[in-house]
Structure 1
C-alpha cells in the first residue's frame, strides 16, 4: 500500500496492525466500545484518543465498538510541510507519535475537548467523501488543528513530550557542516532540509538548547573566528572568506557586537598570552 493518509471507521472484530497496513502512525478516537491489545490484554476505553506507531501492539475492536482512525505515513507530513508554516505548534506530529509518554497510551478527554475532537474528525470524514484525502489542503488543516488541540490537552495534563535524539544530532551535524555557508543556515532553508515548519523548528530549537537558533549560530561563528585569530596561519581576509562575511568591516562589527572588543585586540591578547607562557 502506497498511501500517505487514510481516514477509516472500524467496527467490531477488526484488527489494527500498522505494519500490516503500511502506515507509520495512527490516531484513534474511540467513539463507542473498547480497543484491546492482542498481546498484553490492555484495554482502551470509550472517548479516549490513542496514539500508535509501528512499534505499537496489534489492537482489536470488541463487540459494538466504533473507532475513528486516521492513518499516516511519515511522508504525509513531509509532502505537505509547506502548509504547516502557518501552524505555531510546539511539536511535530511525528514527535508526538514517537513519544514514550504517549506510545501505546490513551488520553482521556474532558467533555469540551471531546466535542472539539469529534467535530474535527467529522469534518475530515465529510470532506474525504468529495476529494482526495492525501492531497487535500482542507483536510491537512483539520489534521493540524487536531494536533493543536492535542498540544493544549498535553499542557493541561502537564505531560512532557520527549524530543527525538536522532533529529537533534542530524540538525547539529548539518549546522557544523554548513557553518561556512550562511544561506544554507537560514531558518527557511534548514526547515526545508528537515521537512518541518519554520515555526516548529524555532520552538523546537529554543526548547532544546535554551537559546534562539540565531544565537546558537552566532556562538559557533564567534568560536570559529577566535580559533583562527589565535592561530598565526590565518589572515583576516581568509577568515572573512571562510565564514561568509561580506568584508573585514562586516566581521569586525559582528565580533565587536558580541565580544565588545575588536578581532585585532583579541588576536593581540592571545599573542601576549603565548609569549608570557613561553617565558
Structure 2
C-alpha cells in the first residue's frame, strides 16, 4: 500500500468527513493529528498494529506514525491537525515545555487516547462546538474555534499525563523530562536503556541519575521501565489481535514465561487470562 506524506500549511487545520471507504493508502505526517469518531466503526491501523474503533474514540497520531482505517460501518471522522510550532506559540515557557514533552511522548500508546471517563463527554461536546462554528461561520468564529482547539489539546495532554509516573512533581525540571522522553523513545531497544548508555546520551553521571529520577518521580528507573512496558502489554492485549509470543518479541521479553511471571507479579493475573477477562466486560 503506498505511503502518503502529508504537509500542513496552517498552524492547525480541521477536516470533517463522512466516509464509507477510507482512501487505500497509508499516511505519514510530520505533524500531530487528532482523529475523533463521531459515528461508525471499523479498524484503525497504526504502525502495523490494529485497533477496533467505534463512536466516541479519540486517536492521537504523532509525527512519523503511519496509519490508515478499514471502515466497517460508514464513519464520520473529525480530523484536527496541528504542528509543533502551534504548541510553542504560548508565552508560558513552562507550559510549552511540559506540553511539548507530553505530546511527543504519546508514542507507543495505541488505541483511544481518552483514559479519563469524565473527559469523554467533554471531548464530544468540544468537537460538536467546533463543527457548529465551522458550519455557521458567525462573528469571531475563527477565534472561538482556536480557543476550543486549545481546550481539546489540553484535555488530550491531561490523558497522556495520566500515564506519566504517578508521583512526578508538577514543577519537575527539564532533566527528568529528558530522561522520560529518552526511556519512552527507546523502549523497544533495551540495549539503549542500560544505565551507562543513558548516562552517556543524557550527559548525567551514573551516581546522580538514579537518585535524581527517584526524587523527581517517586519511582526507580527500573520500576518505571517495567511499569511502562507492562502498560504497553496491556494496551496490546486490549486493543490488538497480537498473540502473546508476538508481544514478547516486540517488547524484548526473554520468553513467554518471563512475561507471564512479570505480568502476574504486578497485575495479579497472567496476560491470557487478563485478555479474556477484559473481553467479557
Scaled by the length of structure 1, the TM-score of the pair is 0.45
Larger Rg: 1
Higher strand share: 2
Scaled by the length of structure 2, the TM-score of the pair is 0.45
